Amino acid sequence: MSDDALREETLATPEGEARVVRQGAHVVHWRPRDAEPALFLSPRTARIAGRAIRGGVPIVFPWFGPRADDPAAPAHGFARILPWRVVAAADGTRALVLESDAATRAAWPHDFALRYEVALQPRALSLTLEVSNLSTAPFAFEAALHTYLRVGDAPAARLTGLEGHAYLDKTDGDRVSRLGDVPFILDGEVDRVFPGARGSCVVHDPVLGRRLVVDKTGSATTVVWNPGPARAAALADLGPDAWRDMVCVETANTGDDRVTLAPGARHRMSATLRCE
């Protein structure tokens, strides 16, 4: 992989700016007009070929988390660590493509094409991942837009939109529980998978005086993650205090919500991030 794949490309309009890295088609920065940056990027993350970037919006595909039948496989799949190809570019948009090849088939034996569209909108960022099945047989996949939202102080933030939903608690052996009818408090380590959660979520941030809204389509799972102080300290590319500056609200299809595509079929999953 060349160093060009790690170079940031800037998208800019009067509505704001974003930056994208071709490795992983990774959005590493988004700042709406007259606002502070809305995405968290770890100051400790490395820019190394084949290593995931910590923060921004990593793309998860074709599996979520560790691969069940191969613990040595890269966590969250290979899409976030491979170079994508830019196929369309304008001041406020980019379209990037990743296609199967011998290396991807060695890790996951299917032919596919991914197209990712990034577009600046008024006080919003639109992200759309399209998966096409180029194989002669159906395949199932998991995917996520692993969005790191920047907050002033995570314990002071509140998350709404998931009230009453059941979730799998990854910090407690996938124990099934259910949120009450009150906002979600983001204090300490949180790793919860909400199957069947198709609606929007809102992060209320009193410290920065704003709301960050995650609208989505084509997604049946929402994942909420914050490493908390102990886990953050154990991650060399994050650091002990960074957990306060972020919360991940992920647009996903994972677990029982994984997508099965027939030959020739396509699936589109979109997230629109809005700053209010």
- Smallest CA-to-CA distance from 11 within 38, 30, 34, 24 is with 30
The Cα 32–Cα 38 span in angstroms is: 8
Please list the residues that pair with 114 across neighbouring strands: 98, 131
Choose the catalytic residue: 99, 163, 250, 267: 250
Closest CA to 7 of 40, 45, 39, 49: 49
The C-alpha atoms of residue 27 and residue 20 are separated, in whole angstroms, by 4
List the catalytic residue out of 26, 29, 110, 146. Answer: 146
* Integer CA distances (angstroms), 182 to 38, 62, 161, 202, 214, in order: 24, 34, 10, 13, 18
Instruction: Name which of 267, 248, 250 is nearest 39 in CA terms.
Output: 248
Is 130 catalytic? The answer is no
Measure the CA angle with vertex 92, ends 88 and 94; round to 5°. Answer: 30
* Catalytic residue flag (residue 29): no
Task: List the one residue out of 139, 142, 121, 131 whose CA is nearest residue 223.
Answer: 142
Residues assigned a catalytic role? 146, 250
